[in-house]
Amino acid sequence: MLRGGRGRGLIFLLSLHALCVSSANAAAPIPVSIPTAGISSSPEAVVAYLYKPEGSGPHPAVVMMHGCAGAYDSKGVLGARHRAWGEFLASRGFAALMLDSFRSRGIGSLCTVKFSERTLKESDRVGDAYAALAWLRQQKDTDANRIALLGWSHGGGVALDAISRKPEGSEGFKAAVSFYPGCTARNKRADKFHPYAPVLVLMGAADDWTPAAPCKALTESVAARGEPMNIVLYPDSYHDFDNPGIKAKRVRKDVPNGVNPGEGVTVAPNPEAREDAKRRVIRFLGEHFR
């Protein structure tokens, strides 16, 4: 299985390598292949892109998980949000590994698919995160004891699942950051959600795709037990608030899920919230990477 996956993965990596060179002011990400055998449900190795900080290291690291739209934009290059965060984290001394969970499974996007009809759940991608963790720990320039997980929306849900499901024999991630995850189902089972490492949730208070109220309630329940979870809600902010690729507020009528199914969901940029989130993420990681 890995042989075929490795071959197809390498062809795909080579075909996209030139497209990854997107900024003259930032180092291009390095395409890599993450072995999945025995860890992930992916039928093939997972394609990923590594943003490396300057210096020989060892560097702390962050595994990044994309949302339901996948890792790429309409032109087939890494999405603006993923590039921006990868470059930002690398500029602050972190190795940032952006995973593509969809390509190896033959999926382009899940955003326009009803929850009940999706072939890939958030829980199915947890293995991808741990495969990436195992790979990073084998890299000589990575600090194996300082690796965090960060995800957006569908990937934010993956981060929450992963940080509450440490594999046997693994030390797991040091911390997790979750941008606007879906918390409705998790909040209904709040008594079963136990993060083994600190969690930071960042989301817009006006989000009508993945509503903030269930995440706030879940965080309060977890924190009341003395477990490490915090949430920051940005007023007048919507889904994708940190995505520099979104230039104006709009309603996506093609998304069947959300607070009001069938009526669409709102995505909108908030540059002030984005910059605040960047500061908070760096401070959060710094506090828990000591």
Q: pLDDT tens across 159-212, in order?
A: 999 999 998 888 899 999 999 999 999 999 999 999 999 999 999 999 999 999
What is residue 30's three-state secondary structure?
strand
Instruction: Write the DSSP symbol of residue 78.
Output: B
In angstroms, rounded to a whole number, what is the distance separating the alpha carbons of residues 241 and 156? 14
Inter-CA distances, 275 with 40, 67, 163, 165, 279, Å: 33, 20, 25, 30, 6
- Nearest in space to 30 (alpha carbons), one of 77, 98, 102, 76: 98
Query: Which residue bears the tokens 């920051």?
Result: 232
* Mean of per-residue pLDDT scores for the chain: 91
**Contact call for residues 273 and 246 (beta carbons, < 8 A):** no
Phi, psi of 106 (to 5 degrees): 70, 30
Whether residue 58 has a cis bond before it, omega within 30° of 0: yes
95: left (phi over 0), alpha (psi -120 to 50) or beta: beta
Element spanning 146, H or E: strand 142-152
CATH says 2-237+271-288 is which class? alpha beta
Average the pLDDT over 256-277 and give the result.
96
Confidence check: pLDDT of 281 > 80: yes
Sheet holding 142-152, edge to edge: 30-34, 46-51, 95-100, 59-65, 142-152, 175-179, 199-204, 229-234
Confidence check: pLDDT of 67 > 60: yes
